[in-house]
Amino acid sequence: MYRLGSIKVTIRINPAQAFKTCAAAAALFVVSAVASAQTVAAATEPLANPYGIQAVWAQGDLVARATLLILVLMSMASWYVIVTKYLEQARVNKQSRAVGDDFWESSSLRQSADKLDAASPYRFIADKGLDSASKHHGLLGTIDFNTWVTMSIQRAIGTVQSRLQQGLALLATVGSTAPFVGLFGTVWGIYNALVSIGMSGQASIDKVAGPVGESLIMTAIGLAVAVPAVLGYNWLVRRNKVAMEDVHAFGNDLHAVLLASGGKP
């Protein structure tokens, strides 16, 4: 009860009604907060991109899919060559160190050659050199021994070099053609996109940017295929050059030993 001058005011509060009112207000506040949070999350959440490689495959025609498959196959082939040639060169380098350590310590060339791995290029060159010395008779005997041994060893070295270079032509081909294959896919995709836009009669940015952007993906894929192939080609050629220097040195040493021993194994 309150007294305001000569007026008496009586305020009665029902506890149950007051509790219900507070609960309703709290619930309304919670609902409003949740709605506000959902609105902010929806505003900040990035929109799903309806374009991309999956869209290129799903919406592309036979030519676009064939171009994409060609690029994928070119990439797989180039990486296969890079990995296999690296492993092969690693084996050759390991065999080169073994030759430098043990080959010249034996009492005879045949004994030294038999110690080498059967798949070693150094074993191949040594066998060819020893075979040439043992076959220097008959019509071949009319050839100067030095010339005959030199020819045999050089042929063997040329064979080894050809084996080491196998597959590098594929890398050079992929590196030089993959960008143009990707560019062809881009041109074809843009052509189809412009035809579709012209037929629909709508040239808004959302109708143009999506199909054209999908087409440009082909160029990016072509570059992604070509760059590793070019880098791998240059890297492997350099490693081949280093390996062949050791092979040539071994061939020269073998030639000198054969001449000094008079062709005796």
Q: What is the pLDDT of residues 209-229, one digit of tens each?
A: 666 766 778 888 899 999 999
Give the global pTM: 0.70
Q: How far is CA 32 from CA 21, 24, 42, 43, 202, in A?
A: 17, 12, 15, 17, 41
Beta bridge partners of 51: none
Using DSSP's 3-state secondary structure scheme, residue 4 falls into strand
Summarize pLDDT for 16-51 with one digit per residue, the tens. 555 455 555 544 544 454 455 455 454 444 545 555
